[in-house]
Structure formats: structure tokens, C-alpha cells
Amino acid sequence: MASRTIENLQDRRMTIITTTFIPCGAKVPFIAMISGAVFGGSPLIAVSSYFIGMLAVIVSGVMLKKTSLFRGELSPFVMELPAYHMPPLKNVLHDTWDRSWSFIKKAGTVILLSTIIIWFFSRFGFTDSGFTMLNEGEFDKSVLGRIGSAVAWIFIPLGWGNWQSAVASITGLAAKENIVSTMGVLYSGGSGTVWQNLADRFTHVTAYSFLLFNLLCAPCVAAMGAIRREMNSAKWTFFAIAYQTVFAYSIAFMVTQFGWLFTGEGNTAGAVTAFAILAVMIYMMFVRKFDRTSSKKKTSAK
């Protein structure tokens, strides 16, 4: 909504598209889960997540500005900074209560309901005897297991092409906190804890790839609704969601493939593709020139 103050239409659209790359509060539990389970609670994971989010905004902004969809004169950046003061304790407590209560309501409705649904469909499935509750070790035959297996192949190049991770990424579109609850349900079986099971399933490379994809991909449904409202166009909303997802996939793919080069797990085709994606991004960033002629001027010239 803050993009409404931007006068240039192309710049306003570009801001709406790239703003979601910055991790919001809903993504913090997910960052903490991956950091704690796989990286031993390293603070560098959280810090790098925010820096990569800011870098994604810069890279995307430069690349999009050099395309025909966002061409035009570069707008000067003018921002009036207010005089900052120490907030009164009453205001701090009031704001803290509002945000805490908002999360409690969300946790007790959307997240709780989603967790119950995920548990049910991950524990029940169709067998020879019909629709029944499955035994431990048969969860891949559950309803969620079959759905996740149908789309898991998309994430194989990213290193985490299993149905549990695929389902977690899909449920994260409802609310990013759902990724944590989904992983908690799907990795709760066996003799180990959820964190132990996550550490066994993910390597450092694939865990970081999984983290970045879900941080940078299309946001939750509420954010998509805000994008639709501010864009005031179904076409531009679809473009925003598609760009965010493709960009996230590309970044996660490069992280996985370059990481595998150092661990000796990669393959030539994957490495070549990753270098090709990187080359395209470098070209768009540093070689291709800005087209400062707006589409309106070109039309009038004809």
C-alpha cells in the first residue's frame, strides 16, 4: 500500500512486485526452523535471509527496469524523513498487544485449521481396503502424499524433490507460518524428533535452497490479494506472482547447483544451466542499457 505514493506507474508496479522479497514476520518462524534444525541455530542464516531479500529487490528492480514493460525515464528518489522521537511506552505496549493478538487470532483460526487438515490428509489415504487411516511408513500413500508426489518432480533440480517439501511449499501459499506446522506434521514420524528428521532429510545446500525458494516465491494469499488490489489488474497480478516464483526457482536452482559443485554431487547439465541463468542476470544487470524512452513517446512518434 505504501507504493501509492509513487507517481510513476511502472515504478509503482515494480515496487509492488519486489516488496515481497523482504522477509515479513510470518517468515521468521520458518527461518528459525531451518536455522535450528539444519544449521545448528547459526545466526548467519537469518541475517543472510534478509540480505538476500534486499539484494533480490535491487537485482529485480534493475532487470525489470531494463525490459519493455518498465521502460521510461528514471524517477528521482525524493523522500522526506520525519523527525524521529522515542515512542511513548504506552504506544509501544499498545502496538505490541495489537500485533500479538492478531497473531493469536491467526494461529487459532487459519494455522490451526490448516494443521488439522494437513494432519488428516497426511494420515489417511486410499488402499485396497478403501479410504482408511495409514500405518507409519505408509504416509506416502496418503492423500497429501499422492498430491505432493505429483508435483515433487518440479523441485528435483533444487535438491528437495520429495513430497513432504513440495506439500509444505504449497501450504505456505495460504500462510507462510503453515510451512512450519506442515513440516512438523509430516516429519513427526519415526524414532527421531522433527528437527532430527529434518537434519537427516536435508543437507546444508538443499536446506538453504528450500529456505530461499519459500522466502522469495509468491507470497501468502493475503499478500496476493493486496497485490491484486493495488495493481487493479488481473494480468499484472498474474505477472507479479509468476515473476516472483520464477525468480525464486532460479535463485534456489543456482544455490543448489553451485553448492553441489563444491560437494561433488552435481552434474554437468545442472551446472551449465545454472551458469547460463547467472550469465543472463549479469547481462541484464551490467550490460544491457536502460531504455529511457517511454512507450507513450514511441507511440506518439509513430
> Which pLDDT score, from 0 to 100, does residue 302 have?
44
- In sign, the C-alpha dihedral spanning 67, 71, 77, 78 is negative
If you search the block for the grid coordinates 514476520, which residue do you land on? Answer: 25
pLDDT tens, the chain, 302 aa long:
567 677 778 888 999 999 999 988 889 999 999 999 999 989 999 999 999 999 999 999 999 988 888 876 666 666 667 788 888 999 999 999 988 888 788 777 777 888 888 888 888 888 777 787 877 777 778 888 888 899 999 999 999 989 999 999 998 888 888 899 889 888 887 677 888 999 999 999 999 999 999 999 999 888 898 899 888 889 999 999 999 999 999 999 999 999 999 998 888 899 999 999 999 999 998 877 766 554 445 444 44
Q: Tell me which H or E stretch contains 132.
A: strand 130-133
Secondary-structure percent of the chain, ordered helix, strand, coil, rounded to 5: 70, 5, 25
Report pLDDT for 104. Answer: 82
Three-class DSSP category at 126: strand
The reported pLDDT for the residue numbered 76 is: 64
Q: How confident is the model at residue 300, as a pLDDT?
A: 45
DSSP 183: H
Question: CA 23, CA 19: separation in Å to the nearest integer?
Answer: 9
Measured in degrees and rounded to the nearest 5, phi and psi for residue 258 equal -70, -35
Contact 165, 186 (CB under 8 A): no
Q: Nine-digit cell at 23?
A: 522477509
Cα end-to-end distance, the chain, whole Å: 36
